[in-house]
Amino acid sequence: MKVPQTLINSLQNIQGFNESTFIKAHENDASPTSIRINPFKNSDFFNDEAPVIWSDYGKYLASRSDFSQNPLFHAGTFFVQEASSMYLEQVLKNTVDLSQDLKVLDLCAAPGGTSTLIASLLTPDSLLICNDVIQNRSNNLSDNLTKWGTMNTIVTNNDPKDFMRLFGFFDVLVIDAPSSNSGLMRKDPNILKEWSDANVLAWSLKQKKMISDAWSSLKQGGILIYSTSSYSKEENEEMVDWIETTFNAEHLTAKNTDKLGGEIISEGSFRLFPDHVKGEGFFITAFKKKSSEKEVFIRSGKPIKNNNRRTEREIFRNWIKDVDDHTWFEKNGDYFLIKPTHEHAINLIQFNFNLKKVGTKIGKLSNKDLIPDHELAMSIFLSEKTNKVELSTEEANKYLRREDFVLEEVIKGWSLMTFKGFGLGWAKILPNRINNYYPKELRISSKEA
């Protein structure tokens, strides 16, 4: 891979840039493989792997494997994420009081790296809205958050300008902005085919519009965290100046300088170069909103039809851990488990936005029995009373491929298929067969294919 000379020239005056080591890292060094452990489903599978020092849950792998053939990946015990992107954890910890119950918007959330990281740090009563404007990407985002297993998340499929309706709603706004992606060119050399000064300028204009569209949804005193996978100043330092000037925002000084081991702080923001850290190119910075625009009226629609009837509670008691601490609502025959403290916010959001996922879908009721949904199988709130069947690696992969397999001496009825104790999905065991309820759209292809 040959780094464009125009890109090299544009970086000459940036703090921390070293032309020779930068070129060597991109042209000679391999991109590291990293994953982030799900703290709610903590497996010891990666205990011996080297840690990502700026993340409590990040690990470097000695080599990249086919994650699609690892049942622990489908169980949601880890997320494959570029190590530098995990530095969001440090910025959140240094700008936000994470012990408080917060409302957080992850504006450009797919495929779920930032969202699952944020979800790992928030209190259970916090609310995380994860949005992506592209429908198929929001579907993938929903699937990844389902695997993570938490309840306090909502996935929306909306344009950033739609969030103007939620005036002063969020405590934290995270924008991991789409960019020219030059910081990832070592992982994907095809990025260089699209890179140009003109494209950098075009992306910076899109980033400005995105921030402008969502800014009013941040409350006074709220925190904006902005990041890109770009090296270009137009998308980074110049964006910092634009945000400060346009919104009279307070640019927060970068802190915690011992976490990177030779990190680069560029004008109060973090710049990560692959010749300085074990990761790809990344830029991240934070602001505090000092002033608030004039408040606007937000239509909230009809209250959620809450069906917390005693009969439902008794049915759900066998399926949901600490069911009395939660609430639920029914829509079109499906039941959704949510936090009681989130009812008003969910009502507000469902009336104004295109929702892809809300809380945890429990399933449907039929003749006073539950037909459990896949989201419940993946949830960390699933009751320990649920019947479980532990699968071998071969059996687990057959289950995930929706292939036939035989189980000996198992209890008839609904059972959670597990691998190393972690749920994969449902099967209904009948006297003469096993009905596999793993979602068809999620099934994996065979390794030979």
**Do 174 and 225 meet the contact criterion of CB atoms below 8 Å apart?**
yes
- For residue 300, the tally of other CB atoms under 10 A from its CB is 14
Q: Is 404 annotated as a binding residue?
A: no
Which one, of 284, 55, 34, lies nearest residue 176 by Cα?
A: 284
What are the tokens at 83?
């190590």
Is 132 labelled a binding residue?
yes
Q: Is 171 annotated as a binding residue?
A: no
Classified as helix, coil or strand, 236 is: coil
Q: For residue 366, is it left (φ>0), alpha (ψ between -120 and 50) or beta?
A: beta
Q: How far apart are CA 328 and CA 343, in angstroms?
A: 9
Find tokens 């012990």 and name the residue.
99
- Is 208 exposed, middle or buried, given 0-12, 13-18 or 19+ CB atoms closer than 10 A? middle
| CB-based contact 222:173 (threshold 8 Å) | yes
Q: Which residue has the tokens 């450009």?
A: 108
- 3-class DSSP string for 113-151: HHHHHHHHHCCCCCEEEEECCCHHHHHHHHHHHHHHCCC
Rounded Cα–Cα distance for residues 434 and 244 (Å) = 60
| Residue 341 contacts residue 101 (beta carbons within 8 Å) | yes
**Which tokens hold the place of 380?**
């960390």
How is residue 349 written in tokens?
């959001």
Instruction: For residues 359 and 328, give the distance between their C-alpha atoms in angstroms, rounded to a whole number.
Output: 9
Contact at 8 Å (CB) between 77 and 37? yes
Query: Residues comprising the binding site for S-adenosyl-L-methionine?
Result: 132, 159, 176
Query: Residues comprising the binding site?
Result: 132, 159, 176
